[in-house]
Structure 1
Amino acid sequence: MLYLVPTPIGNLKDITLRALEVLKDVDVILAEDTRTTSKLLNHYQISKPLSSYHQHNEHKIVDQLIQQLAAGKKMALVTDAGTPGISDPAFLLVRACVQNDIEVQSLPGATAFVPALVNSGLPTNSFCFEGFLPQKKGRHTTLENLKNERRTMIFYESPMRLVKTLNDLSQYFGAERRCCVSRELTKMFEENKRGTLQEVASYYEQKKVRGEIVIVVAGSA
């Protein structure tokens, strides 16, 4: 059995009772960063073997993990924050489990884009999740293809590239397109900055930011 276990995106209290039960029960926990996961496990006094599973080693170890699962091991896959598979490693292992008739259970839980979307003030009845934009190759094509997207769009971004991405979105979508930037979600200094792409870009040009960032952009009218 493979369990996909969402972990808090900020506040450590944002974890389900079922998630804690699974983490206590499995034979091993696959972690994107074992140091980050250790902090969560120590907080809840959970002692389980940890093994690294991330984008740099997943291709190399997926067959080995399948063998262990097929032999009867129970594993939980967690990422540093949020739900595995949402802009984080999980797909390769889940696909391999499906191909080898190994049961997969995905637990519901924290995902950064959901609170960012619902508190943005932008339409939530129809939306598309784009994750991280390509940094170089394919960036122009992606933005050009999204220019006339009518659904609300959701992007992830890092602090160092936030202003560049807002300016790029402004260039392709128009400076007056409405948006909301959410950062430090569920933490003490949570911020949701709403306005036009131009206004929000100008705001963050004068401000040093940190933490994971979600950008929600209105669809084309």
Structure 2
Amino acid sequence: MLLQAAAAAAGGQRFAAGALYVVATPIGNLADLTLRAIHLLDLVDAVACEDTRVTGRLLHHLGLDKPLIALHEHNELAASQQVLARLASGERVAYASDAGTPAISDPGAALVAAAAAAGHPVVAIPGASSVVAALSVAGDAQATGFGFHGFLPPKGQERRDALDALLALPGSQVLFEAPHRIHKLIELLAELAPQRQLTICRELTKQFEQVHTLAAADAPGWLAADAQRGRGEFVLVLHAVPAASTAPAAAAEGERVLALLLRELPLKQAVTLAADISGAPRNALYSRALELREG
């Protein structure tokens, strides 16, 4: 019945032979798989995938049995040649990562580039996206756009530097994090941007989905209050800074203090102290410090 419904919905479309189909799969809830994706998976000659076990279970649920080609971050370039050979023979090949849309913090980009370079059509079969899902429930009315950063460097100064840089960017900023690192990331956000609004999305679309928005300064306490809140996969939305959130006097005082401190201190230390002294937003002062140093 499901395959028949999918064929009725999408069967009238043209699915070219010799094409690569980039298929979005559910991020947790199987019901989020589109009818077009189901029909396409029924139609293709083979499925390349990040993990044959994960995609094999998905196909089994749909009653499908297709040749599977393992294509993941460790073998993407080599495995892409197998896919290109099938495309050259006129086969339709799908590519699916474990969850969500391929090539977004997942393998797939190198395969897409190789297929396009070889002259094969590449067709998106859109669907679930944890990035878009998180933005849709964050309620960041101040944002005029967003940036996506995936997983930050896992530790040390490299992580702090990456977070410093994105705090200076306009719009909402979206991050991924794993459960074993979520507490440290939340603590770092509370330190570097305590007044910024933060939406924590946990286990999106799954049974124990949780979405909570609060000031970054309050996030470590909220996370620690319940052990369950630290489990699962996380998408974080750091809200944009409201355009009129800082009084002109505080902004002017922040720049004055910053200029003085930069004469004696490293950039990041000067920015932190200037923000604490003046009340001006840290990300704005960081951007200004970069301009002063470059000038």
Into which bin does the TM-score normalised by the smaller protein fall?
over 0.9
Partner of 1:204 in structure 2? 223
Name the SS for the 1:77 alignment partner.
strand
Amino acid in the other structure paired with 1:87: S
3-state SS in 1 of match to 2:32: coil
Question: 2:190 pairs with 159, 165, 170, which one?
Answer: 170
Report sequence identity in percent: 39
| Matched AA of 1:128 | G
Q: Which residue of 2 aligns with 1:139?
A: 159
What amino acid is the match of 1:142?
A: A
| 1:62-141 matches, cutoff 5 A | 62-123=80-141, 124-136=143-155, 138-141=158-161
Q: Deviations over 1:54-111 (max 9, x none)?
A: 1011122223322221222211000111001111001101111111111100111100
State the superposition RMSD in angstroms.
1.6
TM-score by length of 1: 0.93
Indicate whether 1:216 and 2:221 are aligned.
Answer: no
Deviates more, 1:78-87 or 1:53-62: 53-62
Q: Which has the higher contact order (CA 8 A, sep 6+)?
A: 1
Please give the per-residue CA displacement for 1:138-163, whole angstroms capped at 9, x wherever unaligned.
Answer: 32332221222121100011111111
Unaligned runs of 5+ in 2: 1-18, 243-295
Structure with the largest fraction of helix: 2
Does 2:211 correspond to 1:192? yes
**How many equivalent residue pairs?**
220
Where 1:47 maps in the other structure, the secondary structure is coil
Aligned residue in 1 for 2:169: 149
C-alpha contact (below 8 Å) 2:70/2:79 kept by paired residues: no
Structure 1 counterpart of 2:38, from 20, 25, 47: 20
- Superposed, 1:34-45 pairs within 5 Å as 34-45=52-63
Identify the structure with the greater strand proportion. 1
Matched to 1:165, the amino acid is L
